[in-house]
Structure 1
Amino acid sequence: MKAPQAAASQVRREPLTAASLGEALRQAVLAQDFGATPDSQDGGRPVRHFPSLDLAVVAFPDHGAPVAANVLFSREHPAGLIADIAEGYGPVRNIRFLADQRDGDGHSIAWRPDSDWSAMDWVPLAGGEEVARVVAPYPASLLKLMLLVGVGRLVDQGRAGWWQPLSYGGRERVVADWASDMVTWSSNEATSALVTLMHAAGAIRREGGPGDGSELRNELHALFAALGLTTLRLANTTAEGGWGNGSGSGVGQIQMTAWDTVRLLWWLDPLAPRAPWLRPGAPRLSPESRNHAMQALQDQALHEVLSSGALGGVPGWVPGLPARLPGRWLQPDGSLRAGEVSLPGDLRRFAAGGEVWFAHKTGNTENYASDAGIVRGILPRRRHYLIAVLTSLGSRYAPDPRCPTTWRIPALGAAIDARMAAWLEA
């Protein structure tokens, strides 16, 4: 694994364009040598197949139009593909996205060491036939960003309230508190509670059981369609709060791509310029709901994927995107405790320092790690950009049980931020 390098003088000499950003992202991924990542499911040997990474960035220079790029890697494209983005920051045009999949027992199968993609029946997610195919990795808990937006829409329509009591699992709490826990420390219980809210409000209707259930209505999908974000899918959840593989949802039913995720963040970011691809009259969140969403993202405790401050007490720590850690989660000794999450070390230097604010949501399972958010420089730093990465590099590739993924991911975050700082603050 190579250490991130700012290469600031070189970046400044090359103008920030879609082409230069795309190539910079591609080279940043290649520099981390992801193909050498040890796989605990294969005896610690390097991963047999180049892992899948879907990475997108939108930069907001002080002057001029936004600059965006999306790069994708997989076992079929280890050198990386640079996406062709439609005019006006519209959809990706040169990629055929395939839905992730699981077997009849509900297990994720595409990422096993001995998996044979040529023998699998793939379901299209988006894109045409005559373009490069990419399997979109399951987003893991990044999916909670979609649900957060859905709850905000319910509130804005008068069908729920942020301060409305909501009971789940024998506990009653207001919706705002469930939403905060769902995002800040990725509570699965809070996620299930808010899924029940979506069903109770009639925003999602499903019939049948886990094996044969089907949706009759999904207003979240209608919202994403109205926003032009057609690869964002939260399908086949249950009225009881089920959203995992066992409930008939999960892998293969819940989908996100990096490009549509950064465009969702663009729509959400109160300081971003107008999103050019949106049609007049496109849905929007009220200031109150957007503030609730942004506060939850800004209070993120899990700086452990693109940013890594929460892991500062883990041996072998590698710096990531230099984000300030929210001090609210630190104990008197400097260790971190957020809900059910505890992490060691004296992390107070990360709460006092940092170069940027990173309002974001992470995701992690055995097979997947993801992170997406809004980056803004802490004054006098001025950089402002959006970033999303979805990968097949989950905890089975982690060097320590307390890590959600390989150290190569935060190293990638640091390298990208150094490039963005050189471009946006030159």
Structure 2
Amino acid sequence: MPAMSAAALAQAMREAVLAQDFGATPDSQDEGRPIRHFPSIDLAVVAFPEQGPPVAANVLFSREFPQGLIAELPADAGAARNIRYLADQRDGEGHSIAWRPDSDWSAMRWTPLAGEAGPGGGRVVAPYPASLLKLMLLVGVGRLVDQGRATWWQPLTYGGRERVVADWAYDMVTWSSNEATSALVTLMHAAGAIRRDQGREVRNELHTLFASLGLTTLRFANTTAEGGWGNGSGSGVGQIQMTAWDTVRLLWWLDPTAPAAPWLDAKAPRLSAESRNQAMHALQDQALHEVLSSGALGGVPGWIPGMPARLPDRWLQPDGSLHAGEVSKSGDLRRFASGGEVWFAHKTGNTENYTADAGIVHGIAPRRRHYLIALLSNLGARYAPHPACATTWRIPALGAAIDARLARWLEGRAQHEAPDGAPHG
């Protein structure tokens, strides 16, 4: 294996994606035939070697780039130089239309999101992040608290229930509660961080924060004071945006053990220790290991191992099944709560058309690897081989393959590689 460098990391990521044969993924919306268009996959990694500077790469795939496009990243890990991001879109009835089997991108009018396609680059449609968007809101609430405009322990009433802000945030992240998300959206509006006038958004301090951090593809637009953030409220697809590269850079800014983010100066905003701890606590207790990691799916027939992450045992019942809020997963999962090689503090997202996962990886002693990873894709639940699954098994298999490569690079030892080439359902 070549020495770890940005070019070697990018090539390894590209090869890992291609080895999964994503173009053969069955599509339930097309009578189980292979997906008509190569899926959109936006994958970014930042690795932190024990010696030397961070190493980062971002590879992107779509129907227009089925062999992959490698982002050109500056030395200071600033914005990608050769990618023109386009916003996802929906029709007048609020339906996501870019990913239908018969969708024709050449006939669609696309709204620019960020960036320019320089030499060797191209345009990329940024898939809706699904519930990964809750990471942005989590950070926004932390910023609100740090400014003295809210507290983690203040009561917040939504839907007839009163809970403290910290509890709403914990449920929003750990088992992806939509009710909790709506509650925290109402908080952002009530505090004046997001403001609408005559049906139009006129103030959004989340966007101001992300702009100050150089994360211009992170957008949380057109939510409502009543807590609306989906397609039906005028937000959702096309209004809420994330890309893998800006998401891993947001995690870099959030990660308390990462070196200083090199593209930011000393005046850049930072979260307080309290708000950072609240965010990390929720991410570390993630119950939904079902995308890049797959421990929560250990009871599903045909299970494929993903990133070897330890499942938080707080969600396990005496029989080994998982129950977190409104989420239940069957099977005896105790082996995933006692084993594993890494801690994965992360947030997932999943709908019929989209799947996403992003987080911070730390090796469990004696393993020492430390890296950030983000994946956004249009490979949602319609491509899942079983009703309990969030996406195709190819996604956790990809997580396992990338982790195995990084273990060899970052720990300097032989590591069992996940099978890269075998296609999965």
Superposition deviation, residue 128 in structure 1: 2.0
User: Which residue number corresponds to residue 175 of structure 1?
Assistant: 165
Q: Pick from 225, 232, 235: which aligns with 1:249?
A: 235
Structure 1 residues 111-133: Cα deviation after superposition (integer angstroms, max 9, x where no partner): 00000000000000011255410
Where 1:183 maps in the other structure, the secondary structure is helix
SS of 1:328's partner is helix
* Counterpart for residue 419 of structure 1: 405
Amino acid at match of 1:372: A
Q: 2:422 maps to what in 1?
A: none
Q: Secondary structure at the match of 2:139?
A: helix
> Contact 2:81–2:117 (CA<8 Å) still a contact in 1?
no
Which residue number corresponds to residue 186 of structure 2? 196
Per the alignment, in what secondary structure is the counterpart of residue 361 of structure 1? strand
Q: Over the residues paired in the alignment, what is the CA RMSD in angstroms?
A: 0.6
Q: Which amino acid aligns with 2:342?
A: V
Match of 2:116 in 1: 128
Deviations 1:47-105 (A, max 9, x none): 00000000000000000000000000000000000000123000001010000000000
Distance in 2, matches of 1:389 and 1:215, equals 29
Matched, 1:365 2:355: no
Output one character per residue of 1:205-244: Cα deviation in whole Å (capped at 9) or x when no partner.
0134xxxx32100000000000000000000000000000
Match of 1:75? 63
Find 1:116's aligned residue among 86, 104, 127.
Answer: 104
Q: Partners of 1:204 and 1:164 in 2: how far apart?
A: 19
Gaps of 5+ in 1: 1-10
- Taking the aligned partners of 2:74 and 2:310, their CA distance within structure 1 comes to 34
Give 2:215's aligned residue: 229
SS in 1 for 2:371: strand
Does residue 159 in structure 1 map to residue 136 in structure 2? Answer: no
Question: 2:22, 2:38 within 8 Å by CA — same for their partners in 1?
Answer: yes
TM-score normalised to the size of structure 1?
Answer: 0.96
Q: Distance in 2 between matches of 1:207 and 1:146?
A: 23
Alignment equivalent of 1:382, drawn from 360, 363, 368: 368
Structure 2: distance between partners of 1:148 and 1:411: 28
SS of the residue 1:150 aligns to: helix
Taking only the aligned residue pairs, the percentage that are identical comes to 82
25, 32, 39: which is aligned to 1:37?
25
Q: Is the 8 A contact 2:82 2:117 kept in 1?
A: no
TM-score, length basis structure 2: 0.96
Match of 1:315 among 280, 301, 311: 301
Matched, 1:273 2:259: yes
**How many angstroms apart in 2 are the aligned matches of 1:316 and 1:215?**
47
SS in 2 for 1:198: helix
Task: Specify the alignment match of 1:4 in structure 2.
Answer: none
2:6 touches 2:56 (CA, 8 Å); kept in 1?
yes
Tell me the amino acid that sits aligned with residue 334 of structure 2. Answer: R
Does 308-317 or 128-137 show the bigger shift? 128-137
Instruction: Find the counterpart in structure 2 of residue 100 from structure 1.
Output: 88
Runs of 4+ residues deviating >4 angstroms: none
> Displacement, 1:183?
0.1
Distance 1:254 1:279 in 2: 27
CA-CA distance at 1:302 after TM superposition: 0.1
Does the aligned pair in 1 maintain the 2:131–2:349 contact within 8 Å?
yes
Among candidates 123, 128, 138, match of residue 128 of structure 2? 138
Q: What's the secondary structure of 1:206's corresponding residue?
A: strand
Aligned-partner SS, 1:409: helix
- Which amino acid letter does the alignment assign opposite residue 124 of structure 1? P
Mapped to 2, the partners of 1:239 and 1:314 lie a distance apart of 40
- Long gaps (5+) in structure 2: 413-425
Aligned length: 410
Is 1:261 aligned to 2:251, yes or no?
no
Listed as ranges, the matches of 1:281-300 within 5 Å are: 281-300=267-286
